[in-house]
Chain A
């Protein structure tokens, strides 16, 4: 069995059986375990989103009652944030590709890595348990604002514990990545020779590591408050609900950058590959990741402009919010400049990247609208905010995720996907997405508050458009999933480097062997994206 094979054993073939997966310490297998878990949760939460849109197609009760609706949007938000978007890119693509891209064979602490996955699963189980025990899932919104979260009879305690456990999973992933990047880069791989995806993960990891403990302890306080009936945040017992909001957003604002920074890293990989030229402004992009991560810690108050926070505090948080937009703008400009004088090959991942830029622009620019004091007073907690965050989270991070799924599909599964079908699926998703969320921005400006089960007649038309958009989006997503599953069975076998990429993962076979490489990878001399040096492909 262990004779030298011409084609080394890839990591799929190395061992068989369920246990060889769920107890594996191979970062590639752990990455895939995350992928399957994440995508399952994603489908569940999408189905919930779909149900919400059905309910909102007309005023009055359509398919569910008010309490159920409230539970549905809470579960939708909790799953999408804690179980899908926060782990998605780092835990799946990061685990799979970070060690390969910096030229090593695993993360620094493989066992800890496995433990993070188990914690993730445990947290997921807790979240799902809320469905079946007691009075059903929490109905507080994903923000768990006190004092309602202390008073309601639904399973808030369980949901909060789920978020707590998932937080620890996220911390351990971040810790692992930081040490990996510091200690395990291949010989010759200096900091500024790392692919930008590793830079993005590095910046993200610091947010995961240093922001998450705050939410952990805050959620524990909510549990204690519910269990012991003490008044940490409930004013009836002497607490202050606004302090809870501070603590919650100290984490949850940086958390939105946990969601988008790795996605930005993906875009920085895909664009140079398909433009067939080096990235424009490598250092600017790398530094702006760190800048976003750092400044992102100081802006949390922009979620509390109407909460009764003091006037001076509102002003300071508003100005800092505007400053954090600048590094994002720098990235966008550099990506677009990378397309200049390239030799562009319009493949599906590039289409996703372009959609990312367009949609992230809408999301980011609407972020500026709600970062300004006067306008946020009007728009806070309206559908404008819902539109904003779906544009950045789904239109941005989500689309980058799907783009990278196509980009690395050949590398992970060793097969080519069907290009024509994937483009049709992309088009449906793009159209559906914008029809679904653009109307929400207008609804918000008209004044429709969010978390509304029922609404006034005036808002009907736009809600109908939005719901119909969700159906087109479904069609696109389902087509994409079917296409990928089918391609995995029947697609052409992928070569090492089907796109002509320049980073190290393209130097190894597809799928990679157990120890990632079959020969010492050659770290390119100049920038990691030098296509000229790498003409052979």
Chain B
């Protein structure tokens, strides 16, 4: 392990703090809005495909969440550790649901 004190960068150091341009943020936002419109459309039009629409809705929602986390929340530019830990948290959450659902599905 390296001496941690050296890895602790100076506050407000522009080298370290990745500044995301305004335009880029706005682009992300447009993307999110498009995804929102898509879910609504899929849901309202895909009436006959109930199961399909749940899954698509969740996939789109997850995509939106990933975009928000990565860009708005700067996760992409943070220490990779946080991304990993986020992954572990999500894994646990999925396991909680999956194991519980497994009980209900196999009854």
Contacts and interface: CB of A to CB of B under 8 A. Distances in A.
Direct contact of A and B (CB under 8 A): yes
Interface of A: 182-183, 185, 187-191, 210, 214, 242-243, 246, 250, 297-298, 300-301, 309-313, 316-317
Contacts of A316: 99, 102
Given A312-B106, A313-B103, A316-B102, A298 B95 contact: yes
Nearest to A243: B100
B5 interface: yes
Given A246-B100, A301-B99, A191 B106 contact: no
A198 to B, nearest CB: 14
Given A187-B3, A188-B3, A210-B92, A298 B99 contact: yes
Interface string B76-93: 000001000000010010
A183 B4 contact: yes
Contacts of B104: 310
Contacts of A242: 103
Contact of A297 (B92, B106, B107): B92
Given A310-B107, A311-B106, A313-B106, A185 B99 contact: no
Contacts of B105: 310
A250 B105 CA distance: 18
B1 A190 contact: yes
B96 interface: yes
B103 A301 contact: yes
Interface of A is mostly: helix
14 contacts: A185-B4, A187-B3, A190-B1, A191-B1, A242-B103, A250-B96, A297-B96, A301-B103, A309-B103, A310-B106, A311-B106, A313-B103, A313-B106, A316-B99
A2 B91 CA distance: 53
Contacts, number: 45
Nearest to A182: B81
A313 B98 CA distance: 11
Contacts of A312: 102, 106
A315 to B, nearest CB: 10
Contacts of B89: 210
A312 to B, nearest CB: 5
Contacts of A298: 95, 99
Given A210-B89, A214-B96, A298-B95, A313 B3 contact: no
Contacts of A250: 96, 100
Contacts of A189: 1
Nearest to A192: B1
A246 B4 contact: no
Given A310-B103, A316-B102, 16 more contacts: A182-B81, A187-B3, A187-B4, A191-B1, A210-B89, A242-B103, A246-B103, A250-B96, A297-B96, A298-B95, A298-B99, A310-B102, A310-B104, A311-B106, A313-B103, A317-B99
A31 B58 CA distance: 45
A355 B100 CA distance: 38
Contacts of B96: 214, 250, 297
Contacts of B99: 298, 300-301, 313, 316-317
A508 to B, nearest CB: 21
Contacts of A214: 96
Contacts of A190: 1
Contacts of A311: 106
A214 B8 CA distance: 34
A187 B100 CA distance: 45
Nearest to B104: A310
A291 to B, nearest CB: 14
B83 to A, nearest CB: 15
Nearest to B3: A187
- Residue among B3, B96, B99, B103 with most chain A CB within 10 A: B103
B2 to A, nearest CB: 9
B78 to A, nearest CB: 13
A320 to B, nearest CB: 9
Contacts of B5: 187
A162 to B, nearest CB: 24
A298 to B, nearest CB: 6
Contacts of B95: 297-298
A246 B92 CA distance: 14
Nearest to A209: B89
B1 A313 contact: no
Nearest to B100: A246
Nearest to B8: A183
